[in-house]
Amino acid sequence: MEQPRRIVVVGGVAGGATAASKARRCCPQAEIEVYDQDEFISYAGCGLPYFIGGYSPNWRRLLARLPEQFEAKQNIRVFLRHRVNSIDPANKNIRVADLEGVSESSIDYDRLIIATGASPFVPPLSGRELEGVFVLRSLKHALEMKSFIDMRAPQRAVIVGAGAIGLEMCEALRRLGMEVHLVELADHVLPPLDADLTGEVGEHLEAGGVHLHLGARVEGLEGRGGAVARVATSQGELDTEMVLLSIGIRPVSELAQRAGIELGDRGAIRVDAAMRTSLPDILACGDCATTRHLVSGRESWIPLGSTARKQGRAAADTVSGGEGSFPGVLGTFILKAFELTLGKTGLSPSEASDAGFDADALTLEDSVLPGYYRGGGRMTARVTVDKVSGRILGAQVVGDYGSQADKRLDVFAVCTGAGLTASDLSSLDLAYAPPYSHPLDIPIVAGNLAEARILGKECTCTMEGLED
């Protein structure tokens, strides 16, 4: 396939900005333009809670690259505050509205990359329009919230939704001295993890001053003088001065759908491994696009910044005339909630059963360093194993912030993605010294236990050693 003369990217941040940058390296002679209706094109979206909480008070440090830098360094023209209203696949052009000048123009393309991302899900609650009610998805959202906090100095806040952003914002707002109430419809925080693993997390949040309201449904927001003053829930009313709706996100795929592009899981744009959509010369990447789960093999929508960047690179390879390839994801994530680290990779036991595996799970809990060496903390790991093949299907971790739970989760992620078995896990040659781990670190112990369980052997195993 010959290289295109004109590449147009719709959307920026992780997926779109990465795709444009990689396309420039692959197509040095092509015209490349990026259109985004936002005010910023490339920034660290995952850093927003830490900016609001004061860990990184200068918001400009979140900016990865300015439009002027794209043009000066890579000859990529960036048009901010420009909304793409429609795509005409037959004539290979898009209709773009200049949101500042209120004008519309037609832009031709040879190949088009859609990276429209995802938007916060906001249920039709009464009082949603009140002052002091926020979502947090973009840098603009973060700046609006930070400005409100600086000007109004709220003392009480309600966070709706105990997912990753909700938990990170609990810490951020508590750090600012607010009384924080966390409302979650499920019966435990961080629903992607097994409920019994997150009991400790709930206790830890409460110890950090967060008031939990689990199994509670938000029924409406009430105001006073145009500002939010109360949250009505199924468990009662909560007085407040600000509200963060962190219920979830949805793929922004309406533009693609109107153009006749096929949608997939949860309404995201269906793509193949090369990021091609159902229409020729149109690709998609990032939080608006589907992917494949590497364990279940199913089409999935798992929006993560790291995934968006990888998909952006694959889209650029394909749009440049090559054959990009993004094999899929495990859905690996990790987050910090006060002094705990929480994370997951692959499938939980229930997800594995739903995917057709005859799955088993084993849970380990111990200190991560030998008893004679100070520090380290404790962590719990739950590993999902296929009882037939012994294949590692996934893992969940909950550990003290100093336990290096991230290191252990990464080991599980690599093993899960590579299709390794419990026997492979038990044979890993991991780095060992007392300041870092036990002689048999948690992943190795997990492999020993899983192997013994699959083979039907009696086994007593600790971090210090293994006894058959």
Q: Of the residues 46, 170, 285, 461, which is catalytic? A: 46
Cα-flanking dihedrals φ and ψ of residue 318, to 5°? -70, -45
pLDDT in tens, the chain (468 residues): 678 999 999 999 999 999 999 999 999 999 999 999 999 999 999 999 999 999 988 999 999 999 999 999 999 999 999 999 999 999 999 999 999 887 899 999 999 999 999 999 999 999 999 999 999 999 999 999 999 999 999 999 999 999 999 999 999 999 999 999 999 999 999 999 999 999 899 999 999 999 999 999 999 999 999 999 999 999 999 999 999 999 999 999 999 999 999 999 999 999 999 999 999 999 999 999 999 999 999 999 999 999 999 999 999 999 998 888 999 999 999 999 999 999 999 999 999 999 999 999 999 999 999 989 988 899 999 999 999 999 999 999 999 998 999 999 999 999 999 999 999 999 999 999 999 999 999 999 999 999 888 766 655 555 544 333
Is 122-247 CATH 3.50.50.60?
A: yes
Contacts of 43 (CB under 8 A, 6+ apart): 13, 62, 63, 64, 139
Nearest to 297 by CA among 265, 269, 324: 265
SS3 319: helix
For the entire predicted model, the pTM comes to 0.93
Span(s) in the chain for CATH 3.50.50.60: 6-119+250-319, 122-247, 339-467
The CA distance from 232 to 216, in Å, is: 10
- Beta strands in 312-440, from DSSP E residues, in sequence order: 333-337, 340-346, 359-367, 378-386, 392-400
Half-sphere exposure of 127 (CA within 13 A, CB side): 21
The domain 339-467 belongs to what CATH superfamily? FAD/NAD(P)-binding domain (3.50.50.60)
Cα-flanking dihedrals φ and ψ of residue 395, to 5°? -155, 155
Is 6-119+250-319 CATH 3.90.380.10?
A: no
Catalytic residue check, 285: no
C-alpha distance from residue 279 to each of 20, 45, 90, 176 (Å): 20, 30, 10, 49
Asked if residue 416 lies in contact with residue 344, where contact means CB atoms within 8 angstroms, the answer is no
Asked if residue 11 lies in contact with residue 63, where contact means CB atoms within 8 angstroms, the answer is no
The CA distance from 400 to 294, in Å, is: 29
